[in-house]
Amino acid sequence: MSSLKELKEASVTGHAGSSHPWEVLGVCSCALTGCFLYKSINGNSSVLKEALIIWFPMIVCQSVYLVPYGVCIMLGQFLLGAVLFGLSVKNKRESTAISSKQLRKTHEQSIQHLEYLTLYRSSILYLTFVAILQVDFPALFPRRYCKTETQGYGLMDVGAASFCISAGFVRGKRKSSNNKNSLKPFLHTLPLIVIGIVRIVLNQELEYQEHVSEYGVHWNFFFTLGVLTLLPKPKKSLLVPIITMSAYQFALSSLQWQSFIEEAPRTLEELQTESKLLLLEILPMTLANFLVANREGILGCLGYLSLEWTGAWIGQRYLWNTNMNNAKNQRHGLGQLAVVLWMIHLTLVHVMGIPVSRRSTNLAFCTWALAHNVLLLYGLQQIVEMFNGTTSNPSLRIWETANKHGLIMFLIANLLTGLVNLTVPTLEMSAPPALLIMFGYICVVGIAAVLSDMLWNLTAKTRGTATASKKKE
């Protein structure tokens, strides 16, 4: 008889996802319709308001209730938002005549804080918060949304890639540092490595379920984030990620790396001689064994690095460009880029026959992740543009705190996920009570975001007061 740990591992293993990317895109679009309706409604931010308009629909859309309830909710949000927007658009501008000086000042101010980028990053976080717990309720979370075992489009597949792309968007604003001896990357990496190690130890001590084919035996996404943080950042050029991704895809397709990732055993001793890669022959025995056991996580870093580097190029070119001559082009540049990325992706899959592989983060997977995320970002950009200057343009302050404290919120969500799994029989629970648990869970995550922001502001205020006192002395 299988143990509870084995049963839970079996529930998230061996799934093929969807045969096309449009369902995943449709599910994630609930963030767009929720933000659209929220900004159409006047009033102050509140946990209850954001929970009902954005959080709860996210839970429904990532569940077996997507059809018909989730679809009806999104359609209703769009229609109601359109009506309310129509009522507010009459007072859209106090004056249609704006001087070029005023226009330039407004453009420069908007560049300093891209609201649509904040909404996008928060959307990625909350969609992930929902998925990491909801996947453990088989009666509520469709198995095709789970991480795919080899090929296909899974809703949870795009989560890690979105984090990397999102980090690249933000890095596009920063100037490259010439200080090669800086310890800052190492200091930023250290907490991620520590968290990754703690997670491995806790999983083993608590006998918590693990999906080995996700990242490997001893690897997790915190280590991947650590690698991305530690490695030197190339200039924000598209050439570097293109060369990296093309070379990696060549190795996957022509040097048997793809079959090695999908089919090889977890120890070097079990690996047949004819299946060994040249890389394994070069490495010392210990490192070769580590690579074999954690090949998805280690080799997958090449794909995730390419995604972050491409995101940095997109951020510099389309998000943080302060040149007023490009302002109008930037409004639809993301949309045009999304179309190009979708065309490249579909060509790779349907013409060149390269299947999407989350396990190897191959070229088809990376182009899908980029096309998916750029299109969502463009949609949120257009929503924010629509409401600029209207009488109805409330800020999603609670929603945005998740973006401000992303790593802390991700840790809190992971801890709550573990707590629920250790105290609730998730495998046996039916969909309705699981839905209630999910709604309570996401509200706790939202409240935790507010408390984290309050604590952060209080600490910053205290530090500021202490600094001012020292200067007076």
Q: Hey, what are 62's tokens?
A: 């990532």
Counted residue by residue, the chain has a size of 473
CB 48 within 8 A of CB 247: no
The answer to whether the peptide bond before residue 234 is cis (omega within 30 degrees of 0) is no
Query: pTM for the complete prediction?
Result: 0.89
Cross-strand partners of 153: 18
Q: Quote the CA–CA distance of 217 and 436 in Å, as a whole number.
A: 33
Q: What is the pLDDT of residue 150?
A: 87
pLDDT value of position 370? 97
DSSP 393-457: ----HHHHHHHHTHHHHHHHHHHHHHHHHHHS-TTT--HHHHHHHHHHHHHHHHHHHHHHHHHHH
Please report the pLDDT score of residue 139 as a whole number: 94
Q: Could you give the CA distance from residue 55 to residue 60 in angstroms, rounded to a whole number?
A: 9
pLDDT in tens for each of the 473 residues of the chain? 568 777 887 888 888 888 899 999 999 999 999 999 998 887 677 778 888 899 999 999 999 999 999 999 999 999 999 998 888 776 554 444 444 454 454 444 454 468 899 999 999 999 999 999 999 999 999 999 999 988 999 999 999 999 999 999 988 776 655 555 577 778 888 888 999 899 888 888 777 778 788 888 889 989 999 999 888 777 778 999 999 999 999 999 998 889 889 888 888 777 765 556 666 777 788 888 888 889 999 999 999 999 999 999 999 888 887 664 555 556 688 999 999 999 999 999 999 999 999 999 999 999 999 999 999 999 999 999 888 766 566 677 777 788 888 888 888 999 999 999 989 999 999 999 999 999 999 989 988 888 888 888 888 777 666 565 665 55
pLDDT (0 to 100) of residue 362: 94
Task: Please give the pLDDT value at position 328.
Answer: 57
